[in-house]
Structure 1
Amino acid sequence: MKHLSLSAQRFPRRATSAVAAAAVAFAFAGCANYSGISSDKQIAAPDKFEATQSVPGQGGQWPSLDWAKQFGDPQLPQLIDEALADNPSIAQAQARIAKASSYIDTSRSALYPKVNGSYSWTRELYSANALFPPPYGGTWYSENNALVSASWDLDLWGKNRARLNQAVSQEKAAEADMQQARVTLAASLARTYNQLALLYALRDVAQREIANRQDVGRITNGRVAAGLDTNVERRTAEGNVATSQTSLTELDGQIESVRYQLAALLGKGPDRGLQIAKPVIDPKVNVTLPDNIPADLISRRPDIIAARWQVEAATQNIKEAKAEFFPDINLTAAFGFDAFGWSKFLQSSSRQIQFGPAIHLPIFDAGALRAQLKGRYADFEGDVANYNQTLVSALNDVATNISAIRSLDKQMSDANRALTAATSAYQLAVIRYKAGLSPQLQVLNADDNRLANEQTVTNLRLKRTDLQIALIKSLGGGFDATSTNLAIDGSGQQQAANPTTNQTSPSQ
């Protein structure tokens, strides 16, 4: 790239106008061009993806920010609030927003004139055998120089404005990323808390199993005393009780481990997890789907919003790169005083005045500007693809969770019937064993079946709660871009959809 600079110091008006006109004409005649560089990629519309069968509307409401309250456990919303209030992951996202905001301030400053002032005092001994003859040569002199200068980039082609818009878009993307971090953290904490509830439920099952096997052991002792059983049956009963106690101890270890996981999610030390009370989650909560999910999901998922703002930022980058093909015109002016010594420093004869335009013109750059623009279009197409993939993944997240809940509901029906039958069989086996009508082995087999079915029902019941939380997260976790400053209006959507046809520069 070659730069052409024009400056004037007390330049005659006619000469200045002539030079300026010649420079502008030369600019338009010699500037590089970006013909043939474009993109036809566009962000996908939600209605492009068929989802009415997989994600049917049920007339429900979108999740609200206090969605955790519906699970009936007052401790859960408190833990989520605690995690969101002071968590390193949220602090990292906020730091990224602050950094993006600084870029906005930097970019905005380029739109306005800049004024600088300077003063220098120099004490110098001039050589008697050099440029300056006596009385200057061989004498010490002090030089005072004061200057106030101003400059203003006219930004005729919108390069600085595009750079500012790009910085704003990056800040919006960072804000959306923070909202995504909040949604992810809240859902992760709720699902881990539900895991704690599951372990406590399984622990209750283990305690009941210990009681049942102790009852069988007492029956066995009576039968041994009556001569109906031997020490083999007695030792078997004692071993079964010990096995159940081992399972209980294992569950206690898992409970403690999950408590530490919750403490980490809270951003606290492991001791904080030991203070968490036993969960009392209501497993009957059912999240009904809102209508028009594909169309409304794009404003409910912060990851989609973040991807959307990245596309907008890429669009502004393209505008900036296109403006680079046109000349920059910078107006400069300066006024000050320059004199030897102090006596004449502020006199009219010591004035120095400078003014004039500076034109930076791309004439030949060996294809650097075109290569830069191609790179910006490549970034744009990558961001468009990322947006489309994020939208597809979001719809599939919702559909997958709905499918899993449907399948689990069918499993629950079968598992409850199996548990009812196994419990009845166990009770009959105990009665027959106590009456001496059946051996101990029959009771033990019936007990194992009943225990396995009860554990299955317990796992399915709390797994359904986990899927409900996952569904809430896939629906945005209460985020709504329309109620924040993150929504993109129609003009922004048009720009991001096709940057080639929406330019505010001479590139049209």
Structure 2
Amino acid sequence: MRLHLLAAAVGLTFALAGCASSGGLHPDGTPIDPSSLQAAHSLANVPASAAWPAADWWTGLGDPQLDTLIGEALADNPTLAVADARARQAQAAAGIADAARQPSLNVGGSLAEARIPTTVPSLGRGHVAPAKYVYGSFRWDIDLWGGKRAAWEAALGQARAAEVDARAARIELSANVARAYVQLGYAYTQQDLAKAELQRAQTARELTAQRVAAGIDNQLQLKRGDAEVASAEEQLAVASRAIDAAQSALSVLLGKGPDRGREIGRPQLLSPAELAVPDDLPVDLVGHRADVVAARWHVNAAGKDIKAAKTAFLPNLSLGVMAGLIAVGGENLFQLPARFYSVAPSVSLPIFDGGRLRANLSGKDAQYDLAVAQYNQTLVRAINEVADDVDALQSLQQQAEAQQRALTAAQDAWKLAEQRYRAGVGSYLEALSVRQQLLVAEQRMAALKAQQSDQSVQLIQALGGGYRPGAGQQLPAPTASVSPASAHHS
């Protein structure tokens, strides 16, 4: 008896020594600690705030029509349907992985005609007899090392990431609608200024033509007037096209045909959000940006995949049970006199698989490193986007203040030119030349206001666009190791 036990032990030792091994394989990626990404210097001159953008941040821009458009886009845009379908697909995959952890129970039966050998003449007429059986089976692959649970957790992590991605798609869509709406408002302002410039150029041309007819000016001044009129007509056409383009962009974002865009009324002048960022931006931003949360979930899922892949190197235990009734011959279809059953526990251990398990684990390690790299890239981009948007808004504010001084000076010059004309000191043609400078200043100011509104929306989006993790979407904590604690190398 001892010899048998010794032989079994020796055989098991050799088997374990020669089995497939995961030794030497490991991921290299390390997620960046958000607190290590310094932004205090870049945001030193920005007012601090504990508030983050609200989920319905667009209502603070002061235009009810914009509120309606964003609500319509969130309800009808086909892009969101794609994101939602992917989320449901990922949830289904998690359900399949969870089901794989559970025991399975099956029942079955059969009724067939069987030809009986002539050596057994008593089992039916003409050597043909009915063969019938019913059975029930039970199987359970026991998850000794937690591999199946890890695979389920990985699929669950991917499902969470898909849910967050769907939220991110909604945030991006609402921001794009607001930005297109800003462009529509700016296009209308451009059209107004282009019409005013065309009227000014036409009036100036008419006065020049009168002066040429009177012999005061020559054809050179008249041709310059013709050029100004043609240029103003071209600018008016550009502005009209900009309105059409903005309406078309909104139609696409709303998920509607082009006629829907033409129904949108002229936007009101939006009120950009005040410049402020939360106190501890780098750390807190991780939980307020949907793309960062989704990337972190991908890292978490990839770590679980590694654990599941490592357990494939270890012995596997399964239990199978089958029982049933069987009969051949007999007139009564419901009579099954013979009974059978089997209980079959089994143990399997990979010895040689041509490197398949190691290749699979190496792929999972690479997938983890890729997920970490993408998370780090997303996190770095997120923090820098906020800093860049803040810097852009500060610059635009300085430009707007300087342009306001230029606009005020141009307005004063136009008033003086009108006064001189009425007093008979200067000509109206000279006054129209000053009027042209005023229109140029108004165009630049309108462009800066549109840029400020657009940049404010971009800052809101960079700060998360009002994202708050829903149930089950909270950011998973980084794991100390992606390796399963119980996974000993075979």
TM-score relative to the length of structure 1? 0.86
- Provide the rounded CA distance (Å) in 2 between the counterparts of 1:425 and 1:58: 37
1:499 to 460, 482, 490: 482
Letter in structure 1 aligned against 2:47: Q
Secondary structure of 2:110's partner?
strand
For 1:273-352, list aligned pairs within 5 A.
273-342=261-330, 349-352=337-340
- Does the 8 Å CA contact 1:283/1:461 hold for their aligned counterparts? no
2:346 to 344, 352, 358: 358
- Name 1:271's counterpart in structure 2: 259
C-alpha displacement at 1:282, in angstroms? 2.5
- Does the 8 Å CA contact 2:58/2:66 hold for their aligned counterparts? yes
Distance 1:25 1:85, change over 3 A: farther
- Name 2:3's counterpart in structure 1: none
- Provide the rounded CA distance (Å) in 1 between the counterparts of 2:339 and 2:450: 85
- Does the 8 Å CA contact 1:283/1:464 hold for their aligned counterparts? no
C-alpha displacement at 1:353, in angstroms? 0.7
Letter in structure 2 aligned against 1:89: T
Matched, 1:120 2:110: yes
- Does the 8 Å CA contact 2:23/2:489 hold for their aligned counterparts? no
Task: Out of 445-454 and 424-433, give the one that drifted further.
Answer: 424-433
Distance 1:240 1:367, change over 3 A: closer
1:487 to 452, 456, 474: 474
Matched, 1:69 2:59: yes
C-alpha displacement at 1:120, in angstroms? 0.9
- Name 1:17's counterpart in structure 2: none
- Provide the rounded CA distance (Å) in 1 between the counterparts of 2:227 and 2:29: 69
C-alpha displacement at 1:434, in angstroms? 6.2
Distance 1:106 1:23, change over 3 A: farther
C-alpha displacement at 1:484, in angstroms? 3.8
1:465 to 430, 449, 453: 453
Matched, 1:80 2:70: yes
Secondary structure of 2:269's partner?
coil
CA deviation string 1:392-441 (max 9, x = no partner): 00011101111111111111121112222233334434554666655677
1:405 to 393, 397, 408: 393
Identity %: 37
| Structure 1: runs of 5+ lacking an equivalent | 1-19
Secondary structure of 2:48's partner?
coil
Letter in structure 2 aligned against 1:270: P
- Does the 8 Å CA contact 1:210/1:245 hold for their aligned counterparts? yes
CA deviation string 1:55-96 (max 9, x = no partner): 346332100111101111111111111101121110001100
- Provide the rounded CA distance (Å) in 1 between the counterparts of 2:368 and 2:72: 39
Task: Out of 430-439 and 356-365, give the one that drifted further.
Answer: 430-439
Task: Out of 203-212 and 39-48, give the one that drifted further.
Answer: 203-212
C-alpha displacement at 1:247, in angstroms? 2.6
C-alpha displacement at 1:241, in angstroms? 5.1
Letter in structure 1 aligned against 2:475: I
Distance 1:355 1:209, change over 3 A: same
Letter in structure 1 aligned against 2:102: Y
- Does the 8 Å CA contact 1:219/1:434 hold for their aligned counterparts? no
- Name 1:59's counterpart in structure 2: 48
CA deviation string 1:100-125 (max 9, x = no partner): 11111211111221111111112122
Distance 1:385 1:462, change over 3 A: same
- Provide the rounded CA distance (Å) in 1 between the counterparts of 2:422 and 2:228: 18
- Provide the rounded CA distance (Å) in 1 between the counterparts of 2:291 and 2:476: 17
C-alpha displacement at 1:135, in angstroms? 4.8
- Provide the rounded CA distance (Å) in 1 between the counterparts of 2:449 and 2:456: 11
1:448 to 426, 436, 456: 436
C-alpha displacement at 1:205, in angstroms? 2.1
Distance 1:281 1:434, change over 3 A: closer
CA deviation string 1:136-195 (max 9, x = no partner): 696111111111111111111111111110110010010111111111111111101100
Task: Out of 265-274 and 213-222, give the one that drifted further.
Answer: 213-222
- Provide the rounded CA distance (Å) in 1 between the counterparts of 2:336 and 2:214: 129
CA deviation string 1:254-306 (max 9, x = no partner): 20221011010001111110111110033454242111110110011111011
Distance 1:287 1:374, change over 3 A: same
Distance 1:121 1:349, change over 3 A: closer
Letter in structure 1 aligned against 2:146: G
- Provide the rounded CA distance (Å) in 1 between the counterparts of 2:472 and 2:123: 67
- Name 1:10's counterpart in structure 2: none
Letter in structure 1 aligned against 2:61: F
Task: Out of 346-355 and 215-224, give the one that drifted further.
Answer: 215-224
Letter in structure 1 aligned against 2:115: L
TM-score relative to the length of structure 2? 0.89
Letter in structure 1 aligned against 2:482: P
- Name 1:104's counterpart in structure 2: 94
Secondary structure of 2:437's partner?
helix
- Does the 8 Å CA contact 2:138/2:320 hold for their aligned counterparts? yes
Aligned residues: 483
- Provide the rounded CA distance (Å) in 1 between the counterparts of 2:228 and 2:17: 95
- Provide the rounded CA distance (Å) in 2 between the counterparts of 1:409 and 1:238: 37
Task: Out of 90-99 and 23-32, give the one that drifted further.
Answer: 23-32
